[in-house]
Each structure stands twice: as structure tokens, then as C-alpha cells.
Amino acid sequence: MKSIQQWLDEYGESHQNSFNKIIHYICVPAIYMTVVGLFWSIPFPFADLPVWINWATIIAVGVIGFYFALSFMVGLGMFLFTVAVVAFLMWWQSAMSVSVLTMSVVVFVAAWILQFWGHKVEGKKPSFFKDVQFLLIGPAWILCHGFKKINLKY
């Protein structure tokens, strides 16, 4: 398995343009949230469980495991971000008239349009065309940029 730094360096090769980076700083977390929201929206067969136990949180366990395998700090950061996403989706579901599914689809489509626009400006294809695992590296790349800003080792 590649190290976290190898993944980040390879991902960073197609994310050099400042415009593309800004788009990614906004859209990658939004896409992560919407993917969780899409899985959240799949009916769960056990209705008597707490609302936060559903397909999204079950799948998140494996995703968070991937991040912890790369780095303890990345795993911890992505765990905390995922908890924030789940809290947001629980709030959205209870407070908003638009469903989590509708919100997730709209934001997902808009964010991907912006991401492809950023790559068009960059002049490089998205990394996931090379390896689908880069879909999980994008959020870690954003997180690690934040870590660098506050001098936190990942």
C-alpha cells in the first residue's frame, strides 16, 4: 500500500492551479458530504435503531478504516469530519423541508460540474481516472493542507 505522502504527492500533481485548488477546497468536502447523504437516503431495514445508524455510517466505518491505515492523524481528522457530516445530515433531516436525498443530489451534481471546470482550467484530468482510490484521497489531501496550515504532522 502507498504511504499517505505518496498518495498526496500523486494527487497533487493534477492540482497545481490555484483556481482548481480553490474549487477543490470547497467541492471535495461537499462531495464527501453528499455521498454520505446519498447512502443516508437508502432505506435501512432496522427502523427501531437510532437514526444515525444507517447505510452511510456502516459504510463510513470501512472508509475511516482506510484513512487510519494511511495515517492515524488522517484517520482521526476524517473521523471527526464524518461525525460533523452525520450531525449536519441529522439536523438537515429534522429541520429542512427538502430531503437529504434531494439536497445531496443537487449539491453532488453542482460540485462535480465545478470540479471538472477546475480540471479544465488546470489542463489535467482528475486523478480518479487513473485510480478510483483517489476519490478517497481528495478529502485527505484537503485535510492535510489544513494540517500544514496549523503545523500539525500527518
CB contact at 8 A, 131 and 138? no
This prediction has a pTM of: 0.90
13-47 pLDDT per residue, tens: 889 999 999 999 999 999 999 999 999 999 988 87
Query: ∠ at Cα 19 (13, 21), nearest 5°?
Result: 45
* Mutual angle of helices 134-149 and 4-12, in 10-degree steps: 100
The letter for the amino acid at 58 is: I
Average pLDDT over residues 4-8: 93
Distance CA 70, CA 5 (A): 9
CB contact at 8 A, 8 and 144? yes
Average pLDDT over residues 101-125: 95
40-93 pLDDT per residue, tens: 999 988 878 888 899 999 999 999 999 999 999 999 999 999 999 999 999 999
DSSP 24-62: HHHHHHHHHHHHHHHHHTSPPS-TTS-TT-SHHHHHHHH
